[in-house]
Amino acid sequence: MTLTITAEIKNALWGCLEIPLYLKSGATRFSGSFAALKRSLVVPVLLIPVIMWAIPRPERYAGHSFIWEFLLMFIQLVVGTGFFAGILYFFKPRHVTTEDFFKCITAYNWLSLSAFVVNIPLILLAVMGINTWDDVLAMMILVTLYSYSFLAFMITYTLRTSVFVGISFALADLMLGEIIRSLTTYFMLQVL
């Protein structure tokens, strides 16, 4: 690992801390290179096994292996990120450069870490038996809304556009994510 990549990771981690606090400087922490974008794809992939361990398996996944569930989440991740990048690319404002576009996708991948971290207290409440998973899932809805609000903030400041455009892209990601999760789960349960 070179010093450049180490500095890139350090800056991205600072961005993951600053963006959920709605600090504008967080949007400048991410690199706008294509190489950084490719490296950032590792972050959500590494989170898949952690999420699988932390959250109980739905009953409909009973009888399926760990590899099957990992593959399902990986497909959802790849398709979801691809659709988000496609929508962002085709509907971005004209002034957005390729570097800004790559920076936004890089930040999007890194913010999966922030979204997971803000859920950790709720997961711990359920795992430790303080609350039931039903109680925690209700609270996770609010945390999800918070996660999408800082996603909209990130989009607004990495693309240097209006807050309404950022909110629109974040809502599009929310809707597409839910549709993709439902469809991939349905097809994976039918096929495999």
State the pTM of this model.
Answer: 0.92
Please give the C-alpha separations between residue 152 and each of 48, 158, 162, 170, in angstroms, as whole numbers.
23, 10, 10, 5
- Band (pLDDT 50/70/90 cuts) for residue 4 is confident
For residues 41 and 82, the answer to whether their CB atoms sit within 8 Å is no
Q: Identify the weakest region by mean pLDDT among 12-16, 54-58, 134-138.
A: 54-58
pLDDT tens digits along 35-85: 999 999 999 999 999 999 888 888 888 888 889 999 999 999 999 999 999
Instruction: Please give the Cα distance from 102 to 96 (Å, whole number).
Output: 10
- Quick one: average pLDDT of 7-27? 95
Total domains in the chain come to 1
Q: Which range has highest mean pLDDT (48-52, 57-61, 89-93, 108-112)?
A: 108-112
- Band (pLDDT 50/70/90 cuts) for residue 24 is very high
- Cβ neighbours of residue 44 closer than 8 Å, sequence gap 6 or more: 77, 81, 109, 112
Q: What is the extent of the structural domain holding 182?
A: 3-191
State the average pLDDT for the chain.
Answer: 92
Closest CA to 51 of 37, 72, 80, 78: 72
Residue 162's pLDDT is 94
- Cβ neighbours of residue 136 closer than 8 Å, sequence gap 6 or more: 122, 123, 125, 126
Residue 1's pLDDT is 52
Looking at residue 33, the DSSP 8-state letter turns out to be S
Helix H or strand E encompassing 131: none
